[in-house]
Chains A and B, each alone.
Chain A
């Protein structure tokens, strides 16, 4: 956007953490604000200062976009659903004595690390104040959640041969969560 250096710097600061389409929209509003002050008789530098002050701190705007992003909403929903789905799986794993299954220790450890990583990503997306971080963490967490659900469903169906209702319920819940997570990957990425 042409105009005083102050406005260009302000937009550059926003561009560091917001996608181009959002910065374009903000630039349009900032330009309108700047022109209003010019119309009131202020010189270009003073008009730019007033316009930037009226728009608010870039950090605050970025945090507000992060708060309003679909990635954050998705992450919060997945975090809210986590305990219920986890409880279903825990009951099945304990009932079926999962510790006796012939699953290599490395695989168990990898699953644990993946689970902790996904929870960390969800927390970062749900609480982060940086827009890009929130979007990327949410998208990665969605993919990770779907993969964890797929692994759980496959593992339990391989080792639990009787399809009792708790297994059916857990599989259905996990499948729903995985579908929800995968469907929201594009939304999370685009904010």
Chain B
């Protein structure tokens, strides 16, 4: 899956990658690779600006630590981030159900 296909969904993927606990940028990318079965074709470097954007929006919080003499920034979900992730999950389920129904030519059931 290419970056342009991910537009609008990257934030949800990043929030989901942080759901299990704090991670640094590289670990977030690794988690995304694992959760997508390696099908995510996204330059690793572009994950970091997206993390900064989520931090500015108050959805994740970053903190510095030192690992093996290197500075490392670790991110974790905030309460607002957890709430946003729930909302994005619900929105995605509705969207996926609607698209599946439309593409497969069967009636779509309304949101639960």
Contacts and interface: CB of A to CB of B under 8 A. Distances in A.
Interface string B38-58: 000001111111101100100
Chain B contact surface mostly: helix
The A interface, classified by DSSP as helix, strand, loop or mixed, is helix
Contact of A29 (B44, B50, B56): B44
B72 A26 contact: no
Contacts of A70: 56
B71 interface: yes
Interface residues of A, number: 28
30 contacts: A1-B70, A22-B48, A22-B52, A25-B48, A25-B71, A25-B73, A26-B45, A26-B48, A28-B24, A28-B25, A28-B72, A28-B73, A29-B24, A29-B25, A29-B44, A33-B44, A54-B43, A54-B44, A55-B44, A55-B45, A56-B45, A58-B45, A61-B45, A64-B49, A65-B49, A67-B49, A68-B50, A68-B53, A68-B56, A187-B56
Interface of B: 24-26, 29, 43-50, 52-53, 56, 67, 70-73
